[in-house]
Amino acid sequence: METVSENKTPAYNNNITHTPGLTSSEIGNLWNTYVINSLVTCFKKSYLANVDDKNARSLLKEALAIETQRLRKITDIFQKENLPVPMGFSDSEDVNFKAPRLFSDNFYLYYLLCYSKFDIPINSINFVTSTRSDVLKFYAYCSNSFYQLFEHINNTILSKGLYIRPPYVTTSHNIDLVKKQSFLTGFLGEKRPLLAQEVSSVFHVILHNNTGKCLLTGFRQVVRSKKVRDYIDRGIKLASKVSDTFSAILQKEDIPVPISWDTMVTESTVPPFSDRLIMSQTALLNTCGVLDFTNIMVYSYRHDINAGIGRFCRGWDKYFNRKRLA
């Protein structure tokens, strides 16, 4: 009987000569990746046109180079398969480079940080739902390149003293096991203190939500369509409810909450982006919000937190569907 050493990785055959067609998962993943990357490249090109901070400029260029390379690679894959290349967004049609800046340099850094937190897990999912060698290599490249970018962004924000760290918590030197169902209590009776993972999840939802609210606030100033402005107003109100609800949970336990960034929006009313680009970025914010809520539901055991997440998920769903009907 053949045995495998614990310290030796089993060999496997990597010489695949048959190249199958793209699966539905791979086509869907690549299509969405193309559209999303064409969207965010428009924003980064606009930011590069007016950024002052040299570190923020360097990071925007690094992110733009990665995403431009992604678009080329996906185009090559689709063309080899005789498939149409997705019609994404274009800076020539969707960006007004003559418009004054709408956001501060500090916001650009947090935009990069929060988007990378969305990009990395999404590409991990795309990787594990793909099978073809070239697609796997592509998504491995997507993940690895953004791991490095995230580290660069993180270190830059830290060095500038702008990083909003998650709270520190009091730790115990003993291990205690859950013995009663009251561990899940949140509505009635005495509530147990939040777990470290619950504090982290709630904190990051507020942090990401504040970034999205800041983005929507800027959009509201420049959109021309009343229907789009009304839709964004509803998004700002929903974002405020999310921040207020989860901030209250932390404050009840004397845990600091992330600051709001309304001051990162300038007074410009000249639109740097087309309404369709703004609406699509808003839809992407909805997706990021749902992913954050899912993260809380996975890591939280208190009923009051999960019930709040359920309400907001329904709220986001209604908000997103209104966009589709607009």
Distance, first Cα to last Cα, the chain = 66
d(CA 213, CA 231): 13
Q: Do 145 and 66 contact (CB within 8 A), yes or no? A: yes
More confident residue, 100 or 244: 100
Domains, in order of start, for the chain? 24-159 (1.20.1260.10), 189-325 (1.20.1260.10)
Average of per-residue pLDDT across 283-300: 80
Average of per-residue pLDDT across 25-46: 97
The candidate with the shortest Cα–Cα distance to 282, out of 226, 224, 218, is 218
Phi and psi for 103 in degrees, rounded to 5? Answer: -130, 160
Distance of CA 67 to the CA centre of its chain: 15
Asked whether residue 272 carries a pLDDT value surpassing 50, the answer given is yes
Q: Do 194 and 302 contact (CB within 8 A), yes or no? A: yes
SS3 171: coil
Q: Do 119 and 58 contact (CB within 8 A), yes or no? A: no
Q: 16-30, 129-143, 296-310: which range is least confident on average?
A: 296-310
Asked whether residue 93 carries a pLDDT value surpassing 80, the answer given is yes
d(CA 106, CA 204): 18
d(CA 147, CA 133): 21
State the pLDDT confidence band at 177, using cuts at 50, 70 and 90. Answer: low
Claim: this prediction has a pTM higher than 0.75? yes
State the pLDDT confidence band at 315, using cuts at 50, 70 and 90. Answer: low
Average of per-residue pLDDT across 143-168: 92
Secondary structure letter of residue 253 according to DSSP = T
Asked whether residue 33 carries a pLDDT value surpassing 90, the answer given is yes
Percentage of the chain modeled with pLDDT above 70: 83
- Mean confidence (pLDDT) of the chain: 85
Q: Do 305 and 248 contact (CB within 8 A), yes or no? A: no
d(CA 318, CA 313): 9
Of 108-117, 174-183, 293-302, give the range with the top mean pLDDT: 108-117
